[in-house]
Every structure is written in C-alpha cells, then in structure tokens.
C-alpha cells in the first residue's frame, strides 16, 4: 500500500507543480516578460502571449479580457483537478486529457522546429507529466479505496 500512496502523491505533486509554474509564467507573459517553462502547460502561456500582443496593439478590450479569462480558466481547471484528485481517479484522467490536448497543441505549434533541443526538451517533459498523470489514474482506478490524506496513510 505504501507504493500505491507514493504513486498517487507523485501524480498530485506533479500536477500541483505544473499548475503553479503555469500560473507564474502566465502572469509574467501577460506583462510581457518573455520566459518559458517546459514544466508548465503550453496553452495558457500561448493565450498570455496573445493577450499581451493584443493589449500592445489595440489596448485593453473585451477580446483581451476573454483571452485572459480563457487562460485563467484552464489554470483553474488544473488547480481544481489537483484538489479533487484526493476524491477519485477521474480527476487524474481529466487533468491527463486536458494536458494531452495541450501537448498536441504544443507539437502542432512547433511542428516546423521539432528538431531543436529546447522544443524536444519541452515535449519530453510534457510526456513525463502525462506519464505521471496516467500512472496515478491507473493506480487510483485499481485501488478504489481512497487514501486517507489527512493522516498520510492508506485507509
């Protein structure tokens, strides 16, 4: 049972770290600070760059607000998934599917420069995150008795 709890904790910590880093880089990119983190979701970062470019070109508008809210919404889904992964396996799968779509968009966006090392590193890290999310999903699905997170022990 120790191994089961460790797998679930690793999946949750991976999701939490990815969500925190995504939020940090989202805010930095909104303010025009060009940074990239391979250990974060690509779509919110992309949306932050689009929103910043729209603000520079056209000023603040409803369109900019919509793009920002879309990015914040994606980050909020990851945060909600992290909170809810204590209650069931389906939240690991929801995070996995959302991050899988994010990875597909990343590959599509960088399809012309897929041989460059930074892009390959980012894609590799995305696949590592997907692995941890899916492994945690499988572990939780095979062991439906939820861990007792409050005591740090398995029920």
Q: Has residue 105 got a pLDDT over 70?
A: yes
The H or E element containing residue 8 is helix 2-30
Q: What is the pLDDT of residue 126?
A: 96
Q: What is the pLDDT of residue 115?
A: 82
Q: Find the mean pLDDT for residues 26-33.
A: 93
What confidence tens digit (pLDDT) does each residue in 119-144 have? 899 999 999 999 999 999 999 888 87
Q: What is the pLDDT of residue 1?
A: 67
Q: What is the pLDDT of residue 154?
A: 45
Least confident of 59-63, 67-71, 116-120, 142-146: 142-146
The reported pTM is: 0.89
CA dihedral 126, 106, 84, 87 (to 10 degrees): -50
Q: Has residue 151 got a pLDDT over 80?
A: no
Q: What is the pLDDT of residue 147?
A: 64
Q: What is the mean pLDDT of the chain?
A: 89
Contacts of 18 (CB under 8 A, 6+ apart): 39, 40, 41, 78, 99, 129
- Name the pLDDT band for 87 (thresholds 50, 70, 90): confident
What percent of the chain is modeled with pLDDT above 70?
92
Contacts of 99 (CB under 8 A, 6+ apart): 18, 41, 78, 126, 129, 130, 133
Contact 133, 15 (CB under 8 A): yes
What confidence tens digit (pLDDT) does each residue in 6-25 have? 888 999 999 999 999 999 99
């Amino acid at each position: 049972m120790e191994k089961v709890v460790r797998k679930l904790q690793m999946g949750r910590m991976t999701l939490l770290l990815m969500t925190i880093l995504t939020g940090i880089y989202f805010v930095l990119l909104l303010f025009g600070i060009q940074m990239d983190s391979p250990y974060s979701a690509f779509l919110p970062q992309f949306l932050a760059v689009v929103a910043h470019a729209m603000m520079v070109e056209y000023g603040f508008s409803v369109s900019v607000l919509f793009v920002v809210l879309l990015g914040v919404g994606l980050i909020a889904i990851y945060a909600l998934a992290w909170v809810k992964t204590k209650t069931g396996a389906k939240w690991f799968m929801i995070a996995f599917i959302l991050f899988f779509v994010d990875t597909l968009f990343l590959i599509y966006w960088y399809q012309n420069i897929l041989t460059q090392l930074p892009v390959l590193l980012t894609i590799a890290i995305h696949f590592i995150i997907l692995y941890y999310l899916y492994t945690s999903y499988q572990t939780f699905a095979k062991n439906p008795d939820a861990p007792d997170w409050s005591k740090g022990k398995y029920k």
